[in-house]
Amino acid sequence: MNPFRSPCRALAKHVSRRSSAVLAPAASSQQQPVLQVQLRYASAGTARPKTAIFFPGQGVQKVGMLTPWIEAFPVTAMPIIQEIDDTVGYKLSSIIQEGPGKVLTLTPNAQPAIMATSILILRILEKEFGFKTSERADFMLGHSLGEFAALVSSGYLEFEDSLFLVQKRAEAMAAATRRAEEEYGGEYGMVAIVSEPEYMPSLINAIHEFVGYSSLGTKSESAEDWPPIDQVLIANINSKNQIVLSGNIERIKTLVAHVRQFSGHDPRAVRLKSDSPFHSPLMKPAVTVMQSLLAGTSRVKGRDGEDIVTWPGKVPCISNVTARPFESKAELKDLLARGCLETVRWWDSIRYLDQEQKVRRWVGIGPGYVGRNLVGKEVGMRGKDTIKGGGVWAITDPSEIEEVLRGLEETECLVDEE
């Protein structure tokens, strides 16, 4: 039985046919014709299905990832790119566009580049297509670094302030890694562990047993006295079959070999494109930096002297640390700072929104498809014909805008059965 009843499904089809004209290419103020898409509500007063917008984290960076947006929307994109360069104080846009890849992948470049590209896409959606997150979404969330873009989109942080925080956070993380390398030697980074879902609980327990301490939510205390060379912890719980380990690479290899020998199964290990062990106790100096910055005031003109965080925001935003919405300004500042070293509870966040909040539509905004694929693993894949009736979409390129906005329009009246 279809888990949805849709009293306005026929009306939605009628609206979709009626809107076909506005979906056709039309001339604009840009240098090229672009697709003009308008969102329509299928029926006034009809409750739409709950919707979440999510943003990607580090690892999705790609040389030239601004190009399609500059080509399709030059008039809108170029002032935002200038703002990005002005905020970070150097031509970050040139590194994004020209590389080389090994320079873009460096943490101080990759983190602000990904966050800035995500917000550039969001700003284009807002200006060119009238997409208002406060009207279209019920929750915001971001994977690790993506939390900063989520806080901008949900109204808690201004873009300039958030980009500045990301830049300083990235610099502090890179500096912490350099100090560990100089003092202890060794190579540091992150490794994804992929296993069958039924093995994941025992795998996590085996990791905790091997390293001698737990890592969920208490890294600032649990690994306090361990030398960096020995600190390997769970950085991310991404899905029912994937976690990420962070720390000394040789120690991670030893741990994986231990798991394979004694746990009775053979998880796949994949080295990630990261030059630092994020979300491990090595990142504790970055927490101090973030705490200091978050205690300060906004850098945005016209908000001089005002708190850097606006409370309340426009849309609830999910914390990576608690997998629940931020509940106060003080909690937001505390958890955002601690997020440098605590485990990213992405799977718990998705399950909370899916199972408890009944979110049925998911839209990823930003480079790459990692976030969409992780969400899709838990709630079903993209498109309005998914098992739960909503959809999981991603906007990473201008060519995907029509599909996503039409998908939102056509699912506007889907309602869960009681």
Query: How do the domains of the chain map onto residue ranges?
Result: 4-171+287-416, 177-282
Q: Which CATH superfamily is domain 4-171+287-416 in?
A: Malonyl-Coenzyme A Acyl Carrier Protein, domain 2 (3.40.366.10)
Pick from 366, 400, 368: nearest CA to 383:
400
Say yes or no to pLDDT of 124 above 90. yes
CATH class of the structural domain 177-282: alpha beta
| Residue 370 to residue 375: CA distance in whole angstroms | 9
pLDDT digits (tens, 9 = 90+) for 316-370: 999 999 999 999 999 999 999 999 999 999 999 999 999 999 999 999 999 999 9
Place of tokens 């049925």: 360
| Residue 273 to residue 58: CA distance in whole angstroms | 8
Considering the chain, what is the average pLDDT of its residues? 85
Average pLDDT, integer, range 103-111: 96
- Under DSSP, the state recorded for 297 is B
Tell me which residues are annotated as active site: 144, 279
**What's the confidence (pLDDT) of residue 416?**
61
Say yes or no to pLDDT of 101 above 90. yes
As a whole number of Å, the end-to-end CA separation of the chain is: 13
| Identical fold between 4-171+287-416 and 177-282 | no
Average pLDDT, integer, range 156-177: 98
Q: List beta partners, residue 139.
A: 52
| Residue 396 to residue 201: CA distance in whole angstroms | 33
Say yes or no to pLDDT of 304 above 50. yes
pTM of the model: 0.87
